[in-house]
Amino acid sequence: MARRQGWEREPIPVAGLWRALGLTLASAVVWGVAHVAAGRRATGFTLMGVLVLLLGGSATAALAFQEKLKQIAVQGVWLNVITVAILALALAWASIVIRSYQVVRPPGLPTAMRIASTTLVVVMSLLICTPFVYAANTTYVLRDTLSKIFPGDDNSGQQVDAANPWKNMPRVNVLLLGGDGGKDRTGIRTDSMTVASINTKTGDTVLMSLPRQLQKFQLPPRLRSRWPQGYTGDPGDQGLLNELYIEAQRHPDLLPKYKKATQRGPHLLEEVIGYLLNIKINYYVLVNLGGFKDIVNAMGGVTVHIEKKLPIGGEPERGIPPSGYLYPGTHHLSGEQALWYGRSRHADDDFHRMDRQKCLMKDIADQADPQKVVTHFEKLAKAATNTISTNIPSALLPALVKLSGTVKHGADIHSLAYNPDKIVGFHVYQPNVPIMRAAAAKAIAESDNPQQTPSSPTASATAKKKNKKKSPSVKPSGSTTASPSSGGAVSLKNVCG
């Protein structure tokens, strides 16, 4: 009888093991459950309190300090801190799960059962760590991408006062360049050249696009000894604006300050375009159009409205037919299709293409929502690293992130196309510099003071925004409504529909 009673008091390992595993799983979700069940209430409730503080603090930060977090997310030092913190949290969470199993594990388990249960708990811990490791890796990729694209020691751009980055800078002017560099080409031809002039207080932006075929234009005084009659390029060149980048690469003496050929091209364009428009260009961003399609693919494509049938590829002058077409209507385009939407010019002319490019930029900006960015983050980061180069210093990124939020949430974007049909007196051959400067000055003045120019398209669009009326959808795909006599900028809401 004594032996039977002793046998009845022996633990039942399997039943105790299932209970321990259940409590361990519960502790993986709510820290401290296993400790409380094991009678270690002080430790258990402390763990629960720490978890509540972590979750509550994270939720509060995400909701209350969303804009500040966006600025932190582009600073290398903070990204390093975040990476370490995420990994530390993963290690702590896994340790709590393992310790939870230890405090409730029944004694006397057979060796095989003990090894199997311990392995199961370790696997559970690794599964818990997986999202944290992914988040840490994503943070690291972001830091690495930013460090590659945005120089920390490149002094070619305007210096930044991190405490007050927009001091004495009512507008920041960024030259946006689209280049066609590739393995089958020598140098880069910048077929897309747009100056984005952004009001640093309101975020209101003017996009001023220059035609690539601008020819024999006047140059800044220091370059006139080489080209006294306007830019003609090297022998055999046409003397077009989109040849300046290659010009700087060929001739280091044009910009002896910059030793790298990749710097000379953008800075010569900055200098010349800044002179033509009479504005100081602070920074540049160069996008390789060949890699642009990878960016669009990484964000899952882009939806655009196509106004007319556009050929994909082909060279009519050589009898080479297009490989396909983009048809009128609203379509979701792949990267390759989006590239041709922005580059195709055989269906109309370069001025329509300039308008399409600005609409494409607007569509991409509008559709780049956080979910798409996170889902395709690594592909997007890789594509951006291989495609984008700039002299915007990393110290300016927090201020630019804050400014971009202003642009996306309420600021108006206006388009000024240097098109002879829209600006009286402007011609692509030997353009009149005072006319170009006057058009730029007028567009910026109307953007800064919309109330003072009630008759302009800019003021009309802004007034409608102020009155909270929906802007009418006019002709999409770059068919602006400005008259030739106005020479003014029009809202992209009207240009792109």
* Per-residue pLDDT at 368: 74
Please, what is the end-to-end C-alpha distance for the chain in angstroms? 92
Residue 324's DSSP bridge partners are: 312
Is-contact 79 137, C-beta < 8 A?
Answer: no
* Per-residue pLDDT at 163: 77
Where is pLDDT greater, at 136 or 2?
A: 136
Helix/strand/coil (H/E/C) assignment for every residue in 416-431: EECCCCCCCCCCCECC
The number of angstroms, rounded, from the C-alpha of 434 to the middle of its chain's C-alpha atoms is 34
* Mean pLDDT, rounded, of the chain: 83
* Per-residue pLDDT at 474: 32
* Per-residue pLDDT at 387: 86
The answer to whether residue 314 scores a pLDDT higher than 90 is no
Query: Residue 389, SS3?
Result: strand
Most confident range (mean pLDDT) of 136-140, 470-474, 493-497 is 136-140
* Per-residue model confidence as pLDDT tens digits over 257-313: 888 888 899 999 999 999 999 999 999 999 887 778 888 888 889 999 998 889 888
Where is pLDDT greater, at 482 or 177?
A: 177
Q: CA 417 to CA 358: how far, in whole Å? A: 10
* Per-residue pLDDT at 173: 95
Q: How confident is the model at residue 487 (pLDDT cuts 50, 70, 90)?
A: low
Average pLDDT for 416-423 = 91
Average pLDDT for 437-461 = 71
* Per-residue pLDDT at 495: 66
* Per-residue model confidence as pLDDT tens digits over 68-123: 888 888 888 999 999 999 999 999 999 999 999 999 998 888 888 889 999 999 99
* Per-residue pLDDT at 10: 53
* Per-residue pLDDT at 153: 53
Task: Delimit the domains of the chain by residue range.
Answer: 2-149, 171-496
Most confident range (mean pLDDT) of 141-150, 358-367, 447-456, 463-472 is 141-150
Question: How many percent of the chain have pLDDT more than 90?
Answer: 43
The answer to whether residue 490 scores a pLDDT higher than 90 is no
The answer to whether residue 477 scores a pLDDT higher than 60 is no
The torsion angles phi and psi of 409, rounded to 5 degrees, stand at -115, 65
* Per-residue pLDDT at 322: 84
The answer to whether residue 370 scores a pLDDT higher than 80 is no
DSSP of 326-374: EPSEEEEE-HHHHHHHHH--SSS-HHHHHHHHHHHHHHHHHH--HHHHH
The answer to whether residue 128 scores a pLDDT higher than 70 is yes
| Parallel, antiparallel or unpaired: strands 490-491 and 329-333 | unpaired
Where is pLDDT greater, at 125 or 8?
A: 125
Task: Find all residues with CB under 8 Å of 31, minimum gap 6, and list them.
Answer: 47, 48, 50, 51, 96
| Parallel, antiparallel or unpaired: strands 190-199 and 205-210 | antiparallel
**pTM greater than the 0.85 cutoff:** no
Q: How confident is the model at residue 452 (pLDDT cuts 50, 70, 90)?
A: low
Type of residue found at 1: M
Burial 10-29 (b: 16+ CB within 10 A, else e): eeebeebbeebbebbbebbe
Classify domain 171-496 at the CATH topology level.
Aminopeptidase (3.40.630)
Q: How confident is the model at residue 494 (pLDDT cuts 50, 70, 90)?
A: low
Helix/strand/coil (H/E/C) assignment for every residue in 261-300: HHHHHHHHHHHHHHHHHCCCCCEEEEEEHHHHHHHHHHCC
Helical axes 76-104 vs 13-29, angle rounded to 10°: 160
* Per-residue model confidence as pLDDT tens digits over 134-166: 999 999 998 998 888 887 555 566 677 777 888
Where is pLDDT greater, at 316 or 207?
A: 207
Q: CA 449 to CA 444: how far, in whole Å? A: 9
Q: CA 26 to CA 121: how far, in whole Å? A: 12
- What tokens appear for 8 in the block? 């009845």
Q: CA 20 to CA 34: how far, in whole Å? A: 8
